Amino acid sequence: MEADTTANLIHYLGYGSFSPGIVDHARGSWVVTGDGCELLDFTSGQMSAILGHSHPEIVATVREQVGRLDHLYSGMLSRPVLDLARRLADTLPPPLEKAMFLSTGAEANEAALRMAKLVTGRHEVVSFARSWHGMTGGAAAATYSAGRVGYGPGAPGNFALPVPDRFRPPLVDADGNLDWRRQLDLGFDLIDAQSVGSLAACLVEPVLSSGGVVDLPPGYLAALRDKCHERGMLLILDEAQTGLCRTGDWYAFQRDGVVPDILTLSKTLGAGLPLSAVLTSAEIEERAHERGFLFLTTHGNDPLPAAVGNTVLDVLGRDRLDLRARELGDRLRSGLDELASRHKVIGDVRGRGLLVGLELVDDEVWGDADRLGAAVTRRCAELGLHMNIVQLPGMGGTFRIAPPLTCTEAEIDRGVEILDAALTDTRSGATG
């Protein structure tokens, strides 16, 4: 990257830096820089472009809708919004049937938290200790994986719940496996001790993505729901990255048969365009409305992104991309498991469907797994693969691997081949 290309940009990536090169265009599973470098996109943009980049049906929808109806006053309604609300409700189990549409996941989580606080008349919020729910006020207060230091006090009444990490279990049973039931009990014992009797909501991801692609153990979500309801709390599930077929089911919570009180969607709903949603029951919506629920944004319930959302649902259903995610996920996991058998720095491969985590561990060459992960990421980019590494202190470097649901078997295999070469080169001293 030329020295002056970022001269007018605010650096917003924390301690991270911008990727090298200037992206010129993208199509399908590939991103191309201005100098012709082709990168296989194993992050679906910002974990969002589940239909790949510039999907022809999304492009056609945007062209048609922007010439017909793009933006409205927040109190006006349009056919794309009404259709998307009805169609999303049809994909969900009862009683989730009421929807509102916003632009980002942070906005959706913010609205969900405000609704839960208004309906319960309480203010305390529980989320995981490695959570990421957004950078707006309430969402940031419920985010623990990053962004807490240096900004002053967050919203009062936010509590962290220990993460049920099966690879690095903080509590184990007699067999050495994660004792998540005991961990959950202890976590709520601490929350109860700190609470002032005003527990309103628990906001969690079914698979912690920024927290290291940690899949909740089977049974955990049901037990968490029971803990919430025993205390009069609402369970809010943030399916920004797991919703709409990415995990092999339309929604990740379906595996456990647990229906949340409030569901938030983003990223995958717009397939790369800014669209998010809050969904809840008629009972909760009615109580919120009676108490004057207020959440307005400039682009709330806008027709253009809603039209895109309808096209996303068209493609997901017609092309059975839930099944496709399972099939491609099995192929990806098989390839990564084979790498793990040859590269001892791979400590764990985990996840569901096409949301997969690969965790590196410390080794004698690089020492710290975070340093190794950063070096492997750089080498992958040099070889033509865009990967995303999570770097949380004490956890090691974990790749979040989330290719588009529309990618091909050959592209999955190519990504695994590049990662194999990057691991080999990095540890042999060929790069870094």
Respond yes or no: is residue 97 known to be catalytic.
no
- Rounded-to-integer distance, Cα 354 and Cα 50, Å: 10
Could you give phi then psi for residue 143, rounded to 5 degrees? -105, 125
Which of 132, 180, 250, 366 does the annotation list as catalytic? Answer: 132
CA atoms within 13 A on the CB side of 217: 17
From the CA atom positions of the chain, what is the Rg in Å?
21
- Rounded-to-integer distance, Cα 153 and Cα 156, Å: 8
Which of 179, 215, 238, 359 does the annotation list as catalytic? Answer: 238
Residues with Cβ < 8 Å from 11, sequence gap 6 or more? 17, 18
Respond yes or no: is residue 64 known to be catalytic.
no
- 10 Å CB burial of residue 384 (0-12, 13-18, 19+) is middle
- Do residues 381 and 375 touch, judged by C-beta distance below 8 A? no
Which of 110, 165, 205, 322 does the annotation list as catalytic? Answer: 205
Which of 130, 225, 267, 378 does the annotation list as catalytic? Answer: 267
Respond yes or no: is residue 241 known to be catalytic.
yes
Respond yes or no: is residue 254 known to be catalytic.
no
Which of 41, 122, 124, 241 does the annotation list as catalytic? Answer: 241
Respond yes or no: is residue 180 known to be catalytic.
no
DSSP H helical ranges for 260-362: 282-290, 303-318, 321-342
Residue type, 92: L
Which of 348, 400, 411, 425 does the annotation list as catalytic? Answer: 400
Residues with Cβ < 8 Å from 192, sequence gap 6 or more? 231
Respond yes or no: is residue 267 known to be catalytic.
yes
Task: Tell me which residues are annotated as active site.
Answer: 132, 205, 238, 241, 267, 400
